Amino acid sequence: MPLTIVQAGDPVLRRSARPLRPNEIRSREIRELIQQMKETMHAAPGVGLAAQQIGQGIQLAVIEDRPEYIKDWTPEQLAERERQAVPFHVIINPKITLIDEERVEYFEGCLSLENLMALTPRARRVRVECVDEKGESKLIDAVDWYARILQHEIDHLNGTLYIDRMQSRTFASLENHKRYWSKCRRHDP
């Protein structure tokens, strides 16, 4: 059964999460939490979910950009966003490095700010050092859309929401985004 996703205004979303200790990472409780977070992310649906979003102040996020989310996209849309499916994985205690100065703006939303979107600049390329659910060290090099997902989820783990980074003049309801902004690549509808 999916967990409740906390919404903006809940203090847990604005606190930095504590790192998980090695003995916690491999615990039954964390394995169960990961499974519940995966189910919650799928039910939402979303491409990532940080522990803060379900009220847990720990450095844990789940990520998956499922093939069915992009099955109706044109090759041009996929190429523009350099988007492709990302298999399910877990990041724990991540450290992120922005690889270059290039920034890319796309509309971004969040499961903790339901039905809202805004253009949000993000680094095009990132490197993430973390551990997985088995406590094994991982190094992730990501570009564009996948890099955006990682930045978004790691921001959550540090108490930051996309609205802290967005182009405020583009902030819109999902309905108005579809009506006025979905065909735009610039700031002007």
pLDDT, position 100 = 81
Q: Is residue 117 very low, low, confident or very high in pLDDT (cuts 50, 70, 90)? A: very high
- pTM, to two decimals: 0.93
5 within domain boundaries: no
Domain membership of residue 96 (yes or no) is yes
Closest CA to 48 of 132, 151, 141: 151
Q: Is the pLDDT of residue 186 over 80?
A: no
Query: What is the CATH number for 16?
Result: 3.90.45.10
SS3 94: strand
| Nearest of 56, 72, 83, 67 to residue 144 by alpha carbon | 83
Residue 186 domain-assigned (yes or no) = no
What's the token pair of residue 86? 């990302």
- Residue at 2 is within a domain: no
24 a catalytic residue: no
* Overall number of domains in the chain: 1
Answer whether residue 189 is part of any domain: no
Task: Report the 10 Å Cβ neighbour count for 43.
Answer: 12
Joined tokens for residue 43: 């039910």
Angle at 148 between CA 78 and CA 138, to 5 degrees: 110
Q: Is residue 4 part of a domain?
A: no
* pLDDT surpasses 70 at 60: yes
Q: Assess if residue 1 is contained within a domain.
A: no
Q: Active site residue: 39, 136, 153, 175, which one?
A: 153
Query: For residue 159, what are the CA distances in angstroms to 23, 40, 108, 123, 174?
Result: 24, 20, 17, 18, 23
Domain that holds residue 145: 11-181
What is the per-residue pLDDT across 65-111, written as a single tens digit (0 to 9) for each?
998 888 888 888 788 778 889 999 999 999 999 998 889 999 999 99
User: What are the tens digits of pLDDT across the range 120-138?
Assistant: 999 999 999 999 999 999 9
Task: Give the pLDDT band of residue 157 (cuts 50, 70, 90).
Answer: very high
